[in-house]
A and B are shown apart, each in its own frame.
Chain A
Amino acid sequence: MSIDVKATPERVQADSDILISVENLHVWFELKKWGFSHVGWVRAVDNVTFQLKRGEAIAIVGESGCGKSSLMKTLLLLNRPHKGSVFFEGQDISNIKGKALKWYRSQVGYVQQDPYGALPPFMPVHRILEEPLIINGVKDKHERDERIRQALQEVALTPVEDFLNKYPHMLSGGQQQRVVIARAMILEPKLLVADEPVSMLDASVRVEILRLLRKLQEEHNLSVMYITHDLSTVRFFSERIFVMYAGKLVEQTHIEELLNNPLHPYTKALLTGTSVPDAANATHLKEVPPGEPPSLVNPPNGCRFHPRCAHAIAGVCDVKEPLHFEPVPGHFVNCWLYEDGRTSFPE
């Protein structure tokens, strides 16, 4: 059974529960020789469709280069869609400019991977947090100060006085990431996009930051897109999970379902590849697929995972792009193994 998930804008608008709707999104980058003659496309995101509800947290998992950041940057309108659209509260925002763009950016907070790189080194914390307020027309100095204090309190950088005048290099990695989060939250956005927010931090600090993000999500009914390559942190606060491989969404479902019943061979490999601390690990090799993700300029025909897949069906997987199947209600997978109604991974 293959299903068509194209939602019309009207349908989206009718459902006020939905904050973001991404439809047949393609993010392609043009590859040029000598700066002008076209030689091809990097298909960083290739025909992706999904919806995000208000207050919902979803995780996007995949290896580097699979298109996670390109997808995010398109949601932030730092990239524009090559094809397809992004709807925010029912409005097509794919091509908005000027005032509308400024307003939209205030609705979306962004937390990036490298907190130090994200903060201007020559600005004290106070100034870093004040900037978005000034840009967005909060003219009253008193109000700005009040909101800055509130934001710092919310990310637990207290007593606030100790942090207002510090420069980024005076803060630990975890504290820097808190400043980044405070900046992302200061305009009270409806959506928070967090791109590998903890991958550069120590384990213990990771837990602190993930808890903070979860608290903010709950208290502000925020929608969150959490991007990571680490499956073991996903359960921490997201409900649904999308697995991406080489520019494609290959599996989407609820987290517990994904952990207990992974369907796509790539997802299965990610789960097998994730270590838990156990001395027995050292006694055997891990069964993980060989090789590396393909180039997105000339991705493999058919299923993009087929050169690495132990289950590939010759004559099918290397020829036809897999359709979108729903073997278990609410559990979607793009893989030919599920064409015949199978509901679990072949052992």
Chain B
Amino acid sequence: MNDQTLLQIRDLVLYFKTSRGDVQAVDHVNLQLHKNKAVVILGESGCGKSSMAKAILRLLPRNVSQYHGQVLIDDLDVMTLSDEDFRRQVRWVKMSMVPQAAMNALNPVLRAGDQVAEPAMIHLGLSKDEAFDLAREMFQNVGVPVDFLTRYPFELSGGMRQRVAIAMALITHPQLIILDEPTSALDLLTQANIMNVLKKIKWETGTSYILITHDIATSSELADEVAVMYAGQIVEVNDAKSFFAQPLHPYSQKLMASVPRLYGDEEPDFIPGRPPSLLHPPTGCRFADRCHLRFDKCDQEPPTFWVDGHPVKCWLYEKDHQAASYTSSEAGDAS
């Protein structure tokens, strides 16, 4: 871990118990995040994105069957902390979260300003007045008029409520904010305005983000790095520039091809089939059923191969395979 590393996740596992077996929602995930960077987690509905966020912040439902791995933040493995220490030292203080559909989760009987001020009182030990002043500052940062401090959530539009939820996650000045689909339910221009807010906060405060989304186009507004999740596993991590230009994993390539574009002649394409069940995921490559490039080897689970420093979970990137396809294409050229 060098001094630019903020977060390191190693072999993180979160399974849920159900009557039909374990749901392997987060299955040995590895991820690293640098200071003041944003990593985007992309993937289809149900692939485990929100579960991963919950695992990182230890916001667990009752039916957990397995939960282990390492989550190092500033060299401290927070997985080793007791629940009480985790609450006191980590949640809100080091990392906070804007949960999926946060705008509908605000407390309806509390004024927006009081709600935003609360974590500052609890976790920073501020007085009510101090916390309220800080809340006012946060409202300005996220672009909510300060006279909304005294309004109730139902008096605000969806976009304004979402900004309030972001203000709440910001108020304790955490180093890391996890944003779960922060703009998916919002209108285009509201979405663009909120992405602007998130960018400014990142530039001005040095915060890092984990941005969870299925919206590839919008994710590029914030991404320094992209991690692609498929059926509970991370199948590729890449820097944004390489990823949006040319992703490595066949699934990432297909995802990218499914994005409709405003201009150009290319028609978006879809990925045939559906992701596998996380109750009994296939033993080989989990994408094999839908992969246009599968070959014999794909019946076995692919390990992580490193391609120019980027991890990719696909047999195509095994050295032998690459050598083989290289020689065969050379042979093709020669003939």
Q: Report whether B193 and A230 are in contact in the complex, using a CB–CB cutoff of 8 Å.
A: no
Select the stretch in A91-99, A133-141, A280-288, A337-345 that faces chain B.
A280-288
Q: Which residues of A contact B200 (CB under 8 A)?
A: 285
The answer to the question of B106 belonging to the interface, with a C-beta cut-off of 8 Å to chain A, is no
Cα distance, A229 to B220, chains bound together (Å):
19
Q: How far is the CA of A270 from the CA of B187 in the complex (A)?
A: 10
- Is B214's CB under 8 angstroms from A259's CB? no
Cβ of A48: which chain B residues have Cβ within 8 Å of it? none
User: CA A275 – CA B224 in complex, angstroms?
Assistant: 16
* Interchain pairs with CB closer than 8 A, number: 122
Select which of B215, B220, B269, B270 is within 8 A of A282 by beta carbon: B220
CB-defined contacts of A211 to chain B, threshold 8 Å: 270
Task: With both chains docked as a complex, state the minimum distance between the C-beta of A281 and any C-beta of chain B, in angstroms.
Answer: 5
Closest to A174 in B: B274
What count of chain A residues pass the 8 Å CB interface test?
40
Chain B residues with Cβ below 8 Å from A269 are 189
Q: Does A153 sit within 8 A of B, measured CB to CB?
A: no
- Chain B nearest CB: distance from A318 CB in Å? 20
Rounded to whole angstroms, the CA-CA distance of A278 and B239 in the bound complex is 12
Asked if B305 lies at the interface with its beta carbon under 8 angstroms from chain A, I say no
Q: Of A173, A205, A285, A289, which is within 8 A of B189 by CB?
A: A289
B196 part of interface (Cβ distance < 8 Å): yes
Q: Which residues of A contact B170 (CB under 8 A)?
A: none
Nearest A residue (CB) for B264: A276
A63 and B240 alpha carbons, distance in the complex (Å) = 29
Indicate if the CB atoms of A203 and B192 lie closer than 8 Å. no
A146 at the interface (CB under 8 A from B): no
Residues of B within 8 A of A277 (CB): 216-217, 219-220, 244, 256, 259
> Which B residues lie within 8 Å of A285 (CB)?
196, 199-200
- Please, how many angstroms separate the alpha-carbon atoms of A316 and B299 in the complex? 69
A173, A207, A270 interface centre (most CB from chain B within 10 Å): A207
Contacts of A276 in B (CB 8 A): 217, 220, 259, 261-262
28 pairs, A vs B, C-beta closer than 8 Å:
A172-B274, A202-B44, A203-B214, A203-B215, A203-B258, A204-B44, A204-B270, A205-B270, A207-B269, A207-B270, A230-B260, A232-B217, A233-B260, A236-B268, A270-B189, A276-B217, A276-B220, A277-B216, A277-B244, A277-B256, A278-B220, A279-B223, A279-B240, A282-B38, A282-B199, A288-B189, A288-B196, A290-B143
The 6 tightest CB contacts between A and B, nearest first, are A279-B240, A207-B270, A63-B187, A275-B217, A273-B192, A204-B258
Residues of B within 8 A of A (CB): 38, 44-45, 143, 157-160, 187-193, 195-196, 199-200, 214-224, 239-241, 243-245, 254-256, 258-263, 267-271, 274
Binding site for B on A (CB under 8 A): 63-64, 172-174, 202-208, 211, 229-233, 235-236, 259, 269-279, 281-282, 285-286, 288-290, 292
